[in-house]
Amino acid sequence: MRRRYPAEFRRKVLDLVEAGRAIRQIAHDLGISEQTIYVWHRQHLIDTGRLPGPTSEDQAELVAARRRIAGRPS
């Protein structure tokens, strides 16, 4: 089951990564998976233009469009 983390928590984790802390240690200290941090970090790099790919905003628009097409409320 996927767990949702608050945006503020994600931001603090990414600040630790940007400060040079090891992802393995951050994950251990905070009790979250390394893979989760890697995914967040990669998306952060995309959102800030340092990697190519769909931004978080682009992905949210796609989800909303798919829901409208399927006839489900947003």
* Residues 47, 55 contacting (CB under 8 angstroms): yes
Neighbour-count burial of 60, counting CB atoms closer than 10 A to its CB (0-12 exposed, 13-18 middle, 19+ buried): exposed
Q: Are the CB atoms for 43 and 34 separated by under 8 Å? A: no
Q: Calculate mean pLDDT across residues 41-48.
A: 98
Rounded CA gap, 50 and 64, in Å? 25
Residue pair 31/40 in contact (Cβ under 8 Å)? The answer is: no
Domains annotated on the chain, with CATH: 7-70 (1.10.10)
Q: What is the pLDDT of residues 7-38, one digit of tens each?
A: 999 999 999 999 999 999 999 999 999 999 99
* pTM attached to this predicted model: 0.83
